[in-house]
Amino acid sequence: MPIIFGTIGGYLLYWLLANGLGWGKPIDFTALAAAPWLGVPKFTQPVFHAEAMFLVAPVAIILVAENLGHIKTVGAMTGRSLDGLLGRAFLGDSLATIVSACAGGTGVTTYAENIGVMAATKVYSTILFAVAAIISILLGFSPKFGALILSIPPAVISGVSVVLFGLIATMAGRIWVENRVDFRKPAKHDHRRRGADSRRRRPDAEVRRLHDGRNRHRNLRRHHPLSDPGLGQHGRMRPCG
C-alpha cells in the first residue's frame, strides 16, 4: 500500500508541476482518453532469432540462482525446509514462462517483491497469490488500465523503483539478521528427525526431560518394589545390610 500511495502521490505531484505550472514535460493523456474500458489483449506468436536466443539463454542460469535464493528465504521465514520442493518450483517456473512466451508475454519467475511482502505481513498463504493472479488477468482485459500505467512519467517510475528495491534490500538484511547461522559452531542434533518432538521446537535439555518423563512409567514397572526387593517406597534404593 505505501508503494501504491507513493505512486499515486508522485503522479499527481508531477501532473501539478508539469501540466499545471509547466516545470516539466506534460503528461500526454491522448492514449488514455482513446483507450476503451474493455478489450482483448494483443496476442503474438513466438519468433525465433539466433541472436536473441544467445542473448537471453544465459539469463536462465541467473533465474535458477534467483529462484533458489527465494525458496531458501521463504523456508527461513517459515521455519520449514523447502528443499524437497525445489524441483517442483523450477518446473512450474519453466512451464509458466513457456506458456507466457507462446502468447507473446514476458518471462514469468518468482519475485523478491512478493517475498518482501510476505516477510513484512507474516502472511504466507498461497491463496493470496492466486487471487492476485486472477485480478491481474482481469486488468489485462482493460486497455484503459494499460494506458493509465503507460502514462506514468519515467521520473515517478524511477523513484518508485528506488524505493521498492531499497525496501527489498532492507527486508533481505532483516531476514539475514533474524535467521543468520554461525557456521563456525557445530550443528546441534535435531531431535525432531527421530520423532521425539515433532510439533514444537524445544531445547535439548527439555527434550531429554520429556523423553525421561515418558519412559518413567516403564522404569517403575521394571523396578517395582514387589518385583525388586532392593527398591523401597517411590522406587528408591534401600541401604543394604
All three cell numbers of 111, joined, read: 519475485
- A 10 A CB-CB count for 14 gives 22
Tell if the pTM clears 0.75, that is, is over it: no
Both 44 and 127 in one domain: the answer is yes
**Based on the domain organization, do 129 and 223 belong to the same domain?**
no
Range of the domain at 213: 207-241
Q: What residues contact residue 172 under an 8 Å CB cut-off, 6+ apart?
A: 73, 112, 116
160 and 232 in a common domain? no
Phi, psi of 231 (to 5 degrees): -105, 140
Residues 99 and 218 in one domain: no
214 and 117: one domain?
no
Residues 148 and 228 occupy one common structural domain: no
Position 189 in a domain: no
CA distance linking residue 106 with residue 109, whole number of Å: 10
Residue 185: inside a domain, yes or no?
A: no
| Same structural domain, 228 and 171 | no
Count of structural domains within the chain: 2
Main-chain phi, psi angles of 66, to 5 degrees: -65, -50
Is residue 184 in some structural domain? no
Which one of 178, 195, 218 terminates a domain? 178
Domain for residue 197, yes or no? no
- For residues 76 and 7, membership in a common domain is answered with yes
- Judge whether 188 lies within some domain: no
Q: How confident is the prediction along the chain (241 residues), in pLDDT tens digits per residue?
A: 778 888 999 999 999 999 989 898 899 999 999 999 999 988 888 888 888 888 888 888 888 888 888 888 888 888 888 888 889 989 988 898 889 888 888 888 888 778 877 877 788 888 988 998 899 999 999 999 999 999 999 999 999 888 888 877 777 777 777 766 554 555 454 444 444 444 444 445 555 555 555 555 555 455 445 544 544 444 444 454 4
Assess whether 81 and 145 both reside in one domain: yes
Asked if residue 183 belongs to a domain, the reply is: no
Are 124 and 66 members of one domain? yes
Let me know whether 42 and 151 are in one domain.
yes
